Chain A
């Protein structure tokens, strides 16, 4: 690596992969609870498993983003990190706080946890994805501020590239919008309205800036295409993202008590949200086709192309599938939503983090690229996980269509649980695909331990 302080990225990446594994294991538990309802009850009720599953997702992606930023910013700014020690300290604080939170979910009844951690002082818990105790939320803010301080100070003393600026914008946006998680009014409609300012403006807003800059960084490295060209593409893509995505928040304001004009604003703008993802796919393939060098790290290139395609399918196509208000009227809050959520998060965020890890980790371990053998294994993992996620999504979509028909659309709607009983076959198929995903993940982890002759680090 070019700057020794980039090494702080390594523990972040390792933690990300570890927590990712935990997320998948809890996903499998929940998948089985969908079929065998009392599986692990009362030790791990579904709501606890789901909280662990989604919170681990958020935390491992944050570890991935932070690791990526600590790796990229010194190289982009051409200067050492302002304080590697602060970065390592924050790593341990975040890891311990994250682990303590997950253990709290698993070991203490949620209501007791709320009481123990000061929820009575400021009620923020018990809302989807924002279940973290007040103390953890404050911890997240502290870690994020220290992280942003460290990187901003690094930026100030170095070169200011567009990739670095877009990354910092995304990361600052992430921290700023998280502050809305502290706002929880008694009025449920207001609560829901601003809850989306965290959730939507993260994943369909500022996180996409992070996604774009990570992808642009790796593409510059593996293709050798001129920075000017790549950074111009990056600006075009993120323009499309925010122009469609900000008002696109309206697709969450159809049925929660908000004015009905949101059905128009939300439908029209979110129908355009696939465009930036399509541009991203075209971008990735275009740059790889115009490459000026043959980078020895084939696996990283595969992840870069994969994240373009899969984010377009998962976030773009599967998002569009149910975003128009007349369709969403029937599909809102069904397995269709779950299908979209799985492929979008995997395609856009899990894959881009695995992409930067794939590119950076060999360098952090002192080589330009892993051995042929290790890369082949990693590419097997790519295909196993990606194909498994395609199947998870297809089976959940099938379950969702049937659910909508039985419970919402037919002339004689049946109750929720009666409809669920009819979906069992799809839930079994989904669980099988989930096992395939886990195998892919284990192969991925194994690829880090495979020897063979590695390419030497570039001088």
Chain B
């Protein structure tokens, strides 16, 4: 790194390389956005799903659970929980929290209304129908 390779050459490579790969990334993003409608289940993006997403967010569910593998690692993956447990189990489970079992991890009771529970289930159903390239490896998440 001496002799003919100067700082200004390094700087030019930095700016050139960054711009090139940023543009490539934008091109790939553009292509992804064109492809997404076939994979992201948007045909089923109902107002109930949107409302369920909000219930998910304002109760900070991601602070314990993962959703498609992203989030906290304290509680089970919920991207496929609809397929693992089904709608009725999910609603009953949320309402039964916290279990109060000594020494066990506890989930708070968020006092969700029937409407909020239904919306949340719709959101989880939506998540389970996204084409995730066959992830997770099995139903346990």
A contact residues vs B (CB 8 Å cutoff): 30, 33-34, 36-38, 41-42, 45-48, 50-51, 110-111, 114-115, 119, 123, 125-128, 131, 162, 184, 186-193, 228-229, 231-233, 235-236, 238-239, 242-243, 246-247, 249-250, 252-260, 262-263, 265, 329-330, 332-335, 337-338, 407-409, 413-417, 420
Contacts and interface: CB of A to CB of B under 8 A. Distances in A.
B64 A47 contact: yes
Nearest to B74: A46
Given A187-B40, A188-B126, A255-B68, A409 B137 contact: yes
B98 interface: yes
A238 B7 CA distance: 13
Given A257-B131, A258-B32, A51 B63 contact: yes
Given A38-B104, A126-B62, A235-B13, A408 B18 contact: no
B71 A333 contact: yes
14 contacts: A46-B72, A47-B64, A128-B70, A162-B7, A189-B39, A189-B130, A235-B10, A239-B13, A246-B18, A246-B22, A256-B68, A262-B32, A333-B73, A408-B138
Given A38-B104, A188-B53, A333-B71, A415 B60 contact: no
A42 to B, nearest CB: 6
B140 A162 contact: no
Contacts of A111: 58-59, 110
A192 B75 CA distance: 20
B98 A247 contact: no
Nearest to B50: A186
Given A51-B60, A265-B28, A329-B135, A255 B69 contact: yes
B1 interface: yes
A191 B60 CA distance: 15
Q: Can you list the 8 inter-chain pairs with the closest CB atoms, starting with the nearest?
A: A47-B63, A126-B57, A333-B69, A37-B105, A235-B10, A255-B135, A189-B40, A416-B76
Contacts of A414: 140
A310 B24 CA distance: 31
Contact of A193 (B32, B41, B101, B127): B32
B130 A228 contact: no
B40 A239 contact: no
Contact of B40 (A126, A257, A420): A257
A250 B32 CA distance: 11
A247 B24 contact: yes
B95 interface: no
Contacts of A192: 68, 70
A250 B62 CA distance: 22
B32 A187 contact: no
A4 to B, nearest CB: 31
B86 interface: no
A417 B76 contact: yes
